[in-house]
Structure 1
Amino acid sequence: MPDLPVLGMIATPIVLAAITTEWWAVRRGHVAGSYCVKDAATSLTMGLGNIILNSTLAFLSLGGLALAASVRPFALDLGIMSALLGFLVHDFLYYWKHRAGHRMRWFWAEHVTHHSSERYNLTTALRQPWTGPLTGLVFTGVPMVLMGFPIAVVLGASAVHLAYQLWIHTEAIGKLPAPVEAVFVTPSHHRVHHATNPQYLDANFGGTLILWDRLFGTFVPEDAEEATHFGLVKPLTSYNPVIVAYHGFGGLFADFWRDGLKPHRWAMRAFNPPGWSPDGHHQRSDELKADWLARQADEAETDAYEEQSSPNVMRIAAE
């Protein structure tokens, strides 16, 4: 989910009403889901802090877009076609920004904030970083302006994306009709993205359209028979908003300190996936998935052996 812009303040009453309704429905047992007062309060605080920080630094966001507009070679006209094309381009760029946020530890140090909750409800959508608005613009807004898109199209595409992201953070909605699941990011797809189950790690990066994941091989469907676990592989046990906001960078810089004055190793840590280790004993999502697949293969082999042996045991017993 992108950083909450100033427009988030306008939608605040609607968002709070949706959260209240979901919380009530979960408490009454009408829908699936889970709420914890401390966890929800932390997420709401993270959302409020994100809005305040981004609002305060909005001049940097708009300044960056204006600077890009001043050097672009051409400009597209503002209209329906440029708006639709801008939506697609924004969603495509967001996919790669989001994927980088999981596959490079420097970017993960910021994005880990959003994944730190072990609950999955509408408040989770508000658990956003406190690092300012520039990261998103580097990967989405500025490139779009340089491509010729009007700033209004960039802001409009970002607003649509932002509004869309809220409703997919819920367990209250199951799988939707197949045509919807095939094209759009749904709660089912995004639950997979937030899960810590090994087979679900680093999957379903799309913001609005799931097409990019299907196209680039990062799509994983939700298994209805698999219990989904949310949060981080190494759980964060704090509800302190400051710790939630900056523990990713704290851990990274702590590793830099232990490395000593070795900038080349710092670079390796920063731009390799989370879990990379200089000694080669990695705990990246790749290794976690491989271990899970190996266990699955061993269990399947054991089941097959037991199934094959059962008739022989029964025959011997009968004799």
Structure 2
Amino acid sequence: MFDLILYAIPFFTVTLLLEAASFYFLPDDDERGYELRDSATSIAMGLGNVAVNAGWKLVVLFVYAAVYELSPLSLPADNPWTWVALFFADDFIYYWYHRTHHTVRIFWASHVVHHSSEHYNLSTALRQPWTPFSSLPYWIPLAALGFSPWMILLQQSISLVYQFFIHTERVGKLWKPIEFVMNTPSHHRVHHGSNKIYLDRNYGGILIIWDRIFKTFQAEDEKVVFGLTKNLNTFNPLRVATHEFTAIGRDVWHAKRRRDRWGYIAKGPGWQPEPAAAEPQNV
């Protein structure tokens, strides 16, 4: 099975080293640059993600293939319009995958890993979860629509490669038509910001048009503060990978009502139950 991400690793490595060198030789007081322990954690998270996906992608491929074989539809891979349709369909699905992984806490528990760094550089792009399992259902409709499984996986990889290069402070705002259509370093810096104005904004993968259509777009205005609203203060990869799952388990364990247990799992991050109504008192 061809995996574009594996072939892209040498290019990721070279560009990461070049960016790190640029901060060393041309530092900028307004940019955080690299911190050795933070980058080491991000790289460890990326390697763990590759290891998990080595087995998990076989499951994904099997499911896509089963759905594709059962579907009455089959789109020809040699037709350029098939690839154009796949590009837009994949990017649209990615938007909703990404958005729900910010607004449903059990999904956020996996995705929060990517937002846990207080730095923003190419190593941050490698800070990926070790629990990628929740992404599977989102792309199944593409197989049902007749896109071959290898095409779906390839387009997913193309999207991830593109997104690697927008994790940088070294590129400012681009030409306005590009900024209007494409997800850029400026737009994605907003997405990684913990500023109140930037929370839950700019979910796009390659395109930013979905955010403009669904009213989740925010331009980069004030200086971005990277990280979480409550930062972890740890470089331990295991804790980075599991801390929100642990927090969910703790909240569910201590919840007094069944609906509160469900709320801690399926509501948004930071959700809290309403206080129980006070018992009427006899007078």
Q: Give the TM-score normalised by the residue count of structure 1.
A: 0.82
Q: Aligned equivalents of 1:108 and 1:240: distance in 2?
A: 19
Q: Which runs of 5+ in 2 are unaligned?
A: 276-283
4+ residue segments displaced more than 4 Å: 30-33
Number of residue pairs the alignment of both structures matches: 271
Alignment correspondent of 1:28: 25
* Greater Rg by CA: 1
Q: Distance in 1 between matches of 2:147 and 2:7?
A: 25
Structure-to-structure mapping, 1:131-210, within 5 angstroms = 131-132=131-132, 134-140=133-139, 142-210=140-208
The answer (yes or no) to whether the contact 2:202–2:211 under 8 Å persists in 1 is yes
CA positional deviation for 1:270: 1.5
* 1:242 CA drift (Å): 0.5
Q: Distance in 2 between matches of 1:6 and 1:58?
A: 10
String of CA shifts for 1:225-270, please: whole Å, max 9, x gaps: x22100000111110000001111111111011115x443221122
User: C-alpha separation between the residues in 1 aligned to 2:94 and 2:195?
Assistant: 24
Over aligned residue pairs, what C-alpha RMSD do you find? 1.5
CA distances 1:129-150 after superposition (whole Å, capped 9, x unpaired): 0014x3222112x111011112
Distance, in Å, in 2 between the alignment partners of 1:190 and 1:160 is 17
Residues of 1 paired with 2:3 and 2:258: CA distance?
37
Given that 2:38 and 2:117 are in contact with CA atoms closer than 8 Å, whether structure 1 keeps it comes out as: yes
Which SS does the other structure have where 1:85 is aligned?
helix
1-structure distance, mates of 2:4, 2:54: 9
Contact map agreement 1:183 1:209 (CA 8 A) in 2: yes
Q: Which moved more, 1:35-44 or 1:149-158?
A: 149-158
**Aligned counterparts, 1:1-319, within 5 A:** 6-29=3-26, 32-78=31-77, 79-132=79-132, 134-140=133-139, 142-223=140-221, 226-260=222-256, 262-279=257-274
Alpha-carbon distance in 2 for matches of 1:87, 1:135:
21
Q: Is the Cα–Cα contact under 8 Å of residues 145 and 151 in structure 1 kept in the other structure? A: yes
Offset at residue 70 of structure 1 (A): 2.3
Contact 2:33/2:119, CA 8 A, preserved across alignment: yes
Identity of aligned residues (%): 41
Question: How far 1:163 moved relative to its partner?
Answer: 1.0
Q: Give the 3-state SS of the residue equivalent to 2:204 in structure 1.
A: coil
C-alpha separation in 1, matches of 2:253 and 2:156 = 37
| Distance (Å, rounded) in 2 between the aligned partners of 1:9 and 1:153 | 16
Distance in 1, Cα, partners of 2:253 & 2:199: 28
SS at match of 1:122: coil
> TM-score if structure 2 supplies the norm length?
0.92
